[in-house]
C-alpha cells in the first residue's frame, strides 16, 4: 500500500504545471494576461516549492511524513478543482499556490519516505517514483488539449479534470495513517520523532550516527531522539550540499521553462496546438524509462559526473536544434530535451546518496530543493519577459543553452563520492 501511495503521489507532482503549459495561450486569452504576467505564472511553481518545501521536514517531525503527504494530496485536489473557476488572475494564482503547496511537501518528503522505508533499495525505489512522476507529467501534457475539447472546448474543464487524479492519491495515505495509529510498538509520531518507521536510535547508530553518544563538548544528549541529528547537522557548511542545490536549481530552471513554454515555442513555429502538446508530452515521457534506469545506474557508481555530462550534452544539442529549426526537427529536439530533463531523477538519487542517515537526507532534501527552487524562480519569468520584448524565441533559447553549462559543472561537483555529514563535521571541527 505504501508503494501504491508513493506511485500515486508521484503521478500528481507535475500535472498542475504541464496541463497549464498545454493550455497557456487559452488561459492567457481568457484571463487577459500579458507575456510578462504569463512568465510570472510559470515562475509560481518554483517559488511555492521553495517557500513551502522548507517547512516539510518540520511538519514531518511534528505530524509524521504520511500525514503531511496525505494533506498535500488533498491540497492538490482542492487547488486544481478551484483554480479554473475562481475568476481573475489573482484567484487563479492563489488556487494554483494551494495546489503547489501540496506538491512542494511531496517533492521534499518522497526521498525521505524512500530512504526510511527502503534504505537498501534507494536506487530502484527512486527510479519507480521518478518514473511515475515523469508519466504523470507527460500524460498531462499529451491529453489536456484533447480532454478540453472533449469536455466542451473550454480551458476550465481541461484543467479541473486533473483534480480527479489527485483525489485518487489520498486513500492510500489515509491507510498508512491508520496503520501508524494502530501500532503498539512506539511508532506514534510526536514533536521529537520522525514518524512511523522513522530513523530511530538503532538505525542512526548503524549509519554511523549514535544519538546517545557524547557531543563535541563532551556532554551526552539529555534526551535521545531521531530528530537530534537533524538539529545538529549544519548542512550549509557542506560544499556538496551547495553544489547539489545549484545543480537542482538549474535543472529545475530548465524543466519549468520547458513545461511552461515549450508548447508555445512550437505553436509559434507553426505547429498545431494538439501536436505541440504531444511534443511536450514526448519531452516529458522520456523520463518514464530513463527515470527508472538512471537512478539504478547512479546508485552503482561512486561518482555521478559522467551521467551529468551526458545529460547536459543532450540538452545543448536540443537547444541548438530548437534555435535553428524548431519545426523541422521538432520530434528530435523533443527527445533530446527529454533526455536532458532526466537530471531531475539523478538529482533525487544524489540526495539519497550524499547523506548517511534518514535525518540527514531529510535536511539535505529540504535544503537542496528549497534553495534550488529559489534559484530557479527567475528563469521562466525572464524567458517570458525576453519573449515579449524581443518578439521571438532566439534570445530565450540562447539563455536556456547558456544555463546548461553551469548546471553541468555543479552536477559534477555534487556527484563526488562524499556525504554532507562528513563535510559538515569536518568544517565544524575546524
Positive or negative: CA dihedral 345, 351, 356, 362: negative
Give the pLDDT confidence score for residue 73 in this predicted structure.
94
Which is more confident, 75 or 357? 75
Tell which wins on pLDDT, 59 or 307.
307
Cα dist from 414 to 62, 355, 403, whole Å: 30, 12, 17
Give the residue-averaged pLDDT of 346-368: 83
Residues sharing a CB contact under 8 Å with residue 58, sequence separation 6 or more, in sequence order? none
> Residue 311's pLDDT is what?
95
Average of per-residue pLDDT values in the chain: 80
Output the pLDDT for position 306.
94
Q: Give the mean model confidence (pLDDT) for residues 263-289.
A: 84
User: Is the pLDDT reported for residue 72 higher than 90?
Assistant: yes
pLDDT, position 59: 87
Residue 231 is given by DSSP the state H
Classify residue 219 by its DSSP letter: P
Alpha-carbon distance 25 to 221, whole Å? 58
Is the pLDDT reported for residue 101 higher than 50?
Answer: yes
pLDDT, greater one: 323 or 41: 323
Banded model confidence at residue 178, pLDDT cuts 50, 70, 90: low
Q: Give me 58's grid cell.
A: 518540520
pLDDT digits (tens, 9 = 90+) for 113-147: 887 788 778 778 877 887 888 888 888 878 888 88
- Residue identified by cell 521571438 is 392
Q: How far is CA 241 from the centre of its chain?
A: 17
The C-alpha atoms of residue 254 and residue 276 are separated, in whole angstroms, by 18
Mean pLDDT of 174-201: 44
Rounded mean pLDDT, 7-33: 85
Q: Which has more confidence, 273 or 429?
A: 273
> Considering only 46-55, 200-209, 231-240, 305-314, which range has the smallest mean pLDDT?
200-209
pLDDT at residue 225 tops 80: no
Q: Which of 69-83, 160-174, 189-203 has the lowest mean pLDDT?
A: 189-203
In the prediction, which pLDDT does 425 show?
Answer: 57
Q: What is the mean pLDDT of residues 323-346?
A: 90
Which pLDDT value is given to residue 229?
40
Per-residue confidence band for 285, with pLDDT thresholds at 50, 70 and 90: confident
What was the pLDDT predicted at 35? 66
Q: Is the pLDDT of residue 205 over 70?
A: no
Give the highest mean pLDDT range of 29-43, 193-207, 345-359: 345-359
Query: Do 145 and 281 contact (CB within 8 A), yes or no?
Result: no
pLDDT at 280: 84
Residue 373: predicted pLDDT:
83
- The pLDDT of residue 78: 95
Most confident of 40-49, 58-67, 188-197: 58-67
Residue 406: predicted pLDDT: 96
Q: Residue 214: beta bridge partners?
A: 220
Percent helix, strand and coil across the chain, each rounded to 5?
A: 75, 0, 20
The average pLDDT across 402-430 equals 81
Residue 65 has pLDDT above 70, yes or no: yes
Give the C-alpha distances (Å, rounded to integers) separating 121 from 107, 129, 207, 359: 19, 12, 15, 17
| Residue 109 in grid coordinates | 518528503
Cα angle, residue 143 at apex, residues 137 and 144 outer, rounded to 5°: 85
- Whether the per-residue pLDDT at 40 is higher than 50: the answer is yes
As a whole number of angstroms, the distance between CA 84 and CA 156 comes to: 5
High-pLDDT (> 70) share of the chain, %: 85
pLDDT band of 429, cuts 50, 70, 90? very low
For residue 27, pLDDT over 90 is answered with no
What is the per-residue DSSP string for 143-182?
HHHHHHHHTTS-HHHHHHTHHHHHHHTHHHHHHHHHHHHH
Summarize the confidence of residues 295-303 as an average pLDDT.
Answer: 86
Amino acid at each position: 500500500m505504501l508503494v501504491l501511495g508513493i506511485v500515486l503521489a508521484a503521478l500528481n507532482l507535475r500535472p498542475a504545471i504541464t496541463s497549464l503549459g498545454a493550455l497557456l495561450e487559452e488561459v492567457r486569452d481568457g484571463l487577459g494576461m500579458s507575456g510578462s504576467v504569463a512568465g510570472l505564472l510559470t515562475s509560481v511553481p518554483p517559488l511555492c516549492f521553495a517557500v513551502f518545501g522548507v517547512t516539510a521536514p518540520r511538519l514531518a517531525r511534528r505530524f509524521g511524513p504520511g500525514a503531511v503527504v496525505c494533506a498535500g494530496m488533498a491540497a492538490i485536489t482542492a487547488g486544481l478543482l478551484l483554480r479554473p473557476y475562481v475568476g481573475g488572475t489573482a484567484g487563479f494564482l492563489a488556487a494554483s499556490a494551494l495546489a503547489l503547496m501540496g506538491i512542494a511537501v511531496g517533492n521534499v518528503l518522497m526521498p525521505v519516505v524512500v530512504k526510511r522505508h527502503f534504505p537498501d533499495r534507494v536506487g530502484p525505489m527512486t527510479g519507480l517514483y521518478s518514473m511515475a512522476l515523469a508519466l504523470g507529467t507527460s500524460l498531462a501534457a499529451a491529453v489536456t488539449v484533447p480532454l478540453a475539447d472533449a469536455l466542451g472546448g473550454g480551458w476550465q474543464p481541461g484543467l479541473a479534470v486533473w483534480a480527479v487524479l489527485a483525489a485518487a492519491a489520498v486513500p492510500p495515505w489515509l491507510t498508512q495513517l491508520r496503520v501508524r495509529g494502530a501500532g503498539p510498538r512506539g511508532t506514534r509520531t510526536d514533536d521529537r520523532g520522525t514518524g512511523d518507521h522513522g530513523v530511530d536510535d538503532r538505525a542512526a547508530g548503524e549509519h554511523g550516527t549514535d544519538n546517545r553518544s557524547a557531543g563535541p563538548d563532551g556532554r551526552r544528549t539529555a534526551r535521545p531522539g531521531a530528530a537530534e541529528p537533524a538539529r545538529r547537522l549544519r548542512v550549509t557548511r557542506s560544499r556538496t550540499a551547495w553544489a547539489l542545490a545549484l545543480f537542482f536549481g538549474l535543472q529545475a530552471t530548465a524543466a519549468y521553462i520547458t513545461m511552461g513554454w515549450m508548447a508555445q515555442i512550437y505553436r509559434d513555429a507553426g505547429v498545431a496546438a494538439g501536436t505541440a502538446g504531444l511534443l511536450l508530452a514526448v519531452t516529458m515521457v522520456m523520463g518514464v524509462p530513463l527515470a527508472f534506469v538512471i537512478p539504478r545506474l547512479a546508485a552503482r557508481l561512486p561518482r555521478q559526473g559522467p551521467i551529468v555530462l551526458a545529460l547536459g550534452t543532450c540538452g545543448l544539442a536540443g537547444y541548438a536544434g530548437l534555435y535553428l529549426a524548431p519545426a523541422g526537427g521538432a520530434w528530435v529536439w523533443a527527445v533530446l530535451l527529454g533526455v536532458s530533463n532526466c537530471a531531475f531523477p539523478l538529482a533525487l538519487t544524489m540526495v539519497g546518496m550524499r547523506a548517511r542517515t534518514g535525518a540527514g537526507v531529510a535536511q539535505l532534501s529540504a535544503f537542496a530543493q528549497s534553495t534550488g527552487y529559489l534559484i530557479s524562480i527567475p528563469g521562466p519569468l525572464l524567458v517570458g519577459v525576453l519573449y515579449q520584448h524581443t518578439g521571438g524565441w532566439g534570445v530565450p533559447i540562447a539563455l536556456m543553452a547558456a544555463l546548461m553549462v553551469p548546471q553541468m559543472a555543479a552536477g559534477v561537483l555534487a556527484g563526488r563520492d562524499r556525504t554532507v555529514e562528513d563535510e559538515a563535521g569536518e568544517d565544524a571541527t575546524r
